[in-house]
Amino acid sequence: MKNINFLFVLIFGLSLGLTSCEDFLEETVKDQVSVDYIYNSPAGLEVGVNALYNQMRFYNLPSGDNSDLWANVFFMVATDLGLHRTWNTPYGTGHNPQSFTGSKWIQGYKIIDRCSAIITSARSIKMDEAAKKRLVAQARVIRGELYLDLKQMYGGILIDTIPTTPQNINDPVEYKVASDADVYKLIDGDLDYAIANLPFKVDPGRYGQGVARHIRGKSALWQQDWAEAAAQFDAIINDGTHGLVNLIDVWGQNGNHKESLFTYQKDFLLGPSDELAGGGGSWLSSVFTHRTYELNTSELVQDVAYGGQALGWFYPNNYLKSLYDQANDLRFKTYYYSDNYQDYKINVPSNPKFGQPITNPAIAAPNGNYRAWHWSLKKYHDSEKLPMTSNSYKDYMYYRLAETYLLASEAHHNLGNDTKALAYLNKVRRRGYTGNPESTVTTFDLTAWTLNNYLDESARELAFENNRWFLLKRLGLLVERQNLYFRSSPSGTISGEVQLKMTPAMVNMPIPQSQIDLMGKPAGFNVGYN
């Protein structure tokens, strides 16, 4: 029996004594880094800022076909320049707090919180002050940019600059619409800090002083502080780091040119998903392009020259088309695919007429088919895209100097300086007509600064960029113009084109109902929606 007891004590004792409970139950994460590292070390701060760019790219250029894409496409198309064929219907039954995508609201506040965490924690990190300021300045541009974005989209928003932690998550919060003054104070504070601490010249993919001033100028326009706006825009124009490029290069394959104030970087080879460095395949190049290859399968197959695999969900409309001097304005042929069938050449190798123009597509009203044939946008054309996919990995220019010129023109007009206002307007216009940014040809110059001249020129230059919806909203013209010119044709025919009524309340996007519910339905949000 002695033996037995010994054995028992040995085994039981061994297994008990193997570990101390505390150590045994402690968790150490293997495949992620601790938050402490990011917010408490110089190296952590840097990777924290890098990740903000990744998040912003997802915010403004998500991959695939989803509600995140719709959140971006909406602002490109749901204006007086757009035509809807299918996919989501702007201002339709889905335009309410229950159904409309909450992508911008949710992602926006997420990135704002991460910016705040970096801005706050940087204060206590010991490192080279200049380097620290450059990092913090980038986080502050992003925060300012996002608050301006949310303010423009939703009207009534919340502001909060305290980073969320498990410790403060349950602190009492009063949900109320932030006053315009408070919102703009926060935005301007962030951007002014960034302008003071960022150089103009930065590596492609990074925020520099140019983009900070551009956003700061936009903020000033919303506040009708014309002098401030003009000063910011002039500073960018006069600095010389940025300049207009040849028309052909504006939306060319290289998005990192002089005219770009900021371009989102993508590279298939660095990982093809939103989470990875390279970024996921964007569908922007397909959304606004007709499917010519469906016209006649014996004549055309998917060809990158004509946009490759395409979707044709939204198109530029006839009103926009009417704004162009089609013979002389080179932007008509540069920013859009040709609407002349003879420019499309038969590319089915077995077709005896290979290389010759395709036969006249049946585009005559009312039996045409917009899906296969409609005047289409070429700005997001990607000549390196694979022909049988909608995925494009082309860099995406998000802010550009041409917009700066046009906005500056508006600011100077409001300051009473129409000479300068016209000069800026014509600077962009001359490039449009000659292709040359330095052109001095005055033949096509506008001679008077009027609101219509300004809006039309802006449309010709910036259509389907992230500009029109916000511009019209700021000028109080969005509902009126939208209802005048926007069209929807689910049948894909001219005769099927109908107007979709935008109600005045829709100038503020619906905040997701789930968020309203979570806040306990406070007053002041989603005014005019159910």
Partner 1 sequence: MKQNKHVKMFCREGKYLQLVLLLFMCILSTTASAQESPITGKVVDNAGLPLPGVNVHVKGSTKGTQTDFDGNFTISTAPKSTLVFSFIGMDEVSVETENRKNLKVVLKPSSQALDEIIVVGYGTKKKSDVISSVASVKPGDMTKVATSDVGEMLRGKAAGVQVSLNDGGPGSSSSIQIRGKKSINGSNEPIVIADGIVIGNINDINANDIASLEILKDAAAQSIYGARASNGVILITTKRGKTGKAKISYNGFSGVQTINRNFDVYSGEEFAQLKREAYRTSNGGVYRPDNQVFTPLELESVQSGKYIDWEKLVLRTGVTNNHSVSISSGTEKTSIFSSINYINTSGVIANSDYDKVAMRVNVDQRITDWLKVGMNVSLQFSESNRPNVGNILNNAINTSPLGQVYNPDGSFRYLPGGIQETPNPLIDVYETNTNELNRNDIMNVFLDINLAKGFTYKLNASRRSWNYKAMSFNTSKSLSGIANSGQGSGYIRFQDNVEYQLSNILHYNLNVAEKNHFNVTGVYEITSSEYNDFRNSASRIPSDILGIYGLESAFLNTPEIGGNERSLISFAGKLEYDFDSKYYFTVSGRADGSSVFGANNKWGFFPAVNAAWNVSNEEFMKEHVPVISNLKLRASYGKVGNQPKDPYQSMATATQRDYIINGVKVSGYVPGSQLSNPDLRWETSTQLNLAADFGLFKNRLNGTVEVYNTDTSDLLIYETLNANTGYTTKLSNIGKVNNKGLEVTLNGDVIKKKDFRLNLGATFTKNKNSIVSIYGKDADGDGREDDAVGNLWFIGKPIDVYYRYKAVGIYQEGENIPLVTGTTLYPGDIKLWDADPSNGANPNPDQDRVITSKMPDWFGTFSVALEYKQFDFSADIYTVQGITRDNPFLYDYVRGGSLRGVKNGIKQDYWTPENPGGNWPRPRDGNDPPYINTLGLQDASYIRLQNVSVGFKFPESTLKPLGLSNMRLYVTGSNLVTLTDYQSYSPEKEIYDYPEPVTCVIGLQVGF
Report the site for partner 1 in 193-222 (rule: CB under 8 A).
Answer: 203-206
DSSP 341: G
Number of alpha carbons in the 13 Å side-chain half-sphere of residue 135: 28
> Rounded CA gap, 529 and 46, in Å?
42
Contact pick of 143, 291, 379, 460 for partner 1 (by CB under 8 A): 291
Rule CB under 8 A: say whether 275 interacts with partner 1: yes
Rule CB under 8 A: say whether 294 interacts with partner 1: yes
Minimum distance of partner 1 from residue 270's CB (angstroms) = 5
Contact pick of 24, 172, 181, 476 for partner 1 (by CB under 8 A): 24
Rule CB under 8 A: say whether 489 interacts with partner 1: yes
Backbone torsions φ then ψ of 382, nearest 5 degrees = -125, 105
- Upstream peptide bond of 490 is cis (omega within 30 degrees of 0): no
- Residue closer to partner 1 by CB (options 27, 129) is 27
List CB contacts of 368: < 8 A, sequence separation 6 or more: 361, 362, 492, 493, 494
Rule CB under 8 A: say whether 110 interacts with partner 1: yes
Rule CB under 8 A: say whether 466 interacts with partner 1: no
Report the site for partner 1 in 307-336 (rule: CB under 8 A).
Answer: 309
Minimum distance of partner 1 from residue 169's CB (angstroms) = 6
Rule CB under 8 A: say whether 36 interacts with partner 1: yes
- Upstream peptide bond of 366 is cis (omega within 30 degrees of 0): yes
> Rounded CA gap, 467 and 409, in Å?
15
Indicate the SS3 state at residue 57.
Answer: helix
- Residue closer to partner 1 by CB (options 223, 389) is 389
Rule CB under 8 A: say whether 10 interacts with partner 1: no
- Residue closer to partner 1 by CB (options 11, 441) is 11
DSSP 282: B
Rule CB under 8 A: say whether 272 interacts with partner 1: yes
Rule CB under 8 A: say whether 127 interacts with partner 1: no
User: Order of strands across the sheet with 314-316?
Assistant: 314-316, 82-84, 487-488
Indicate the SS3 state at residue 400.
Answer: strand
Rule CB under 8 A: say whether 16 interacts with partner 1: yes
188, two tokens: 């301007």
Count residues near partner 1 (CB under 8 A): 120
Report the site for partner 1 in 355-384 (rule: CB under 8 A).
Answer: 366-367, 369
Rule CB under 8 A: say whether 91 interacts with partner 1: yes
- Residue closer to partner 1 by CB (options 163, 189) is 163
Backbone torsions φ then ψ of 84, nearest 5 degrees = -105, 135
Contact pick of 17, 126, 129, 166 for partner 1 (by CB under 8 A): 166
User: What sections of 123-179 are H helices per DSSP?
Assistant: 129-154
**What SS3 string covers 68-115?**
HHHHHHHHHHCCCCEEECCCCCCCCCCCCCCCCCCHHHHHHHHHHHHH
Q: Which stretch binds partner 1 (CB under 8 A): 87-95, 121-129, 240-248, 342-350?
A: 87-95
Rule CB under 8 A: say whether 106 interacts with partner 1: yes
Contact pick of 66, 253, 359, 514 for partner 1 (by CB under 8 A): 514
- Which residues sit opposite 260 in a β-bridge? 400
- Residue closer to partner 1 by CB (options 390, 434) is 390
Contact pick of 2, 17, 25, 124 for partner 1 (by CB under 8 A): 25
Minimum distance of partner 1 from residue 290's CB (angstroms) = 12
Contact pick of 388, 451, 484, 527 for partner 1 (by CB under 8 A): 388
Contact pick of 265, 392, 434, 458 for partner 1 (by CB under 8 A): 265
Rule CB under 8 A: say whether 51 interacts with partner 1: yes
134, two tokens: 């450059």
Indicate the SS3 state at residue 488.
Answer: strand
Rule CB under 8 A: say whether 86 interacts with partner 1: yes
Contact pick of 63, 79, 116, 482 for partner 1 (by CB under 8 A): 116
Minimum distance of partner 1 from residue 211's CB (angstroms) = 14
Contact pick of 50, 161, 223, 417 for partner 1 (by CB under 8 A): 50
Amino acid 350 reads S
Tokens 């054309």 correspond to 381
Rule CB under 8 A: say whether 262 interacts with partner 1: no
Contact pick of 5, 124, 350, 447 for partner 1 (by CB under 8 A): 5
Number of alpha carbons in the 13 Å side-chain half-sphere of residue 488: 16
Q: Which stretch binds partner 1 (CB under 8 A): 241-249, 350-358, 437-445, 493-501?
A: 493-501
- Residue closer to partner 1 by CB (options 167, 452) is 167
Minimum distance of partner 1 from residue 187's CB (angstroms) = 16
Rule CB under 8 A: say whether 181 interacts with partner 1: no
User: What sections of 330-477 are H helices per DSSP?
Assistant: 331-334, 401-414, 418-434, 451-462, 468-474
Backbone torsions φ then ψ of 316, nearest 5 degrees = -65, 145
- Residue closer to partner 1 by CB (options 15, 443) is 15
How far is residue 180 from each of residues 15, 133, 156, 185, 231, measured CA to CA in Å? 66, 28, 9, 8, 22
Burial 66-96 (b: 16+ CB within 10 A, else e): eebbbbbbbbbbbbbbbbbbbbbebbeeebe
CA angle 223/225/229 to nearest 5° reads 105
Tokens 């990744």 correspond to 54
Report the site for partner 1 in 141-160 (rule: CB under 8 A).
Answer: 158, 160
Rule CB under 8 A: say whether 227 interacts with partner 1: no
Rule CB under 8 A: say whether 27 interacts with partner 1: yes
**What SS3 string covers 136-147?**
HHHHHHHHHHHH
Q: Are 445 and 430 in contact (CB under 8 A)?
A: yes
Rule CB under 8 A: say whether 98 interacts with partner 1: yes
Q: Are 244 and 427 in contact (CB under 8 A)?
A: yes
Rule CB under 8 A: say whether 32 interacts with partner 1: yes
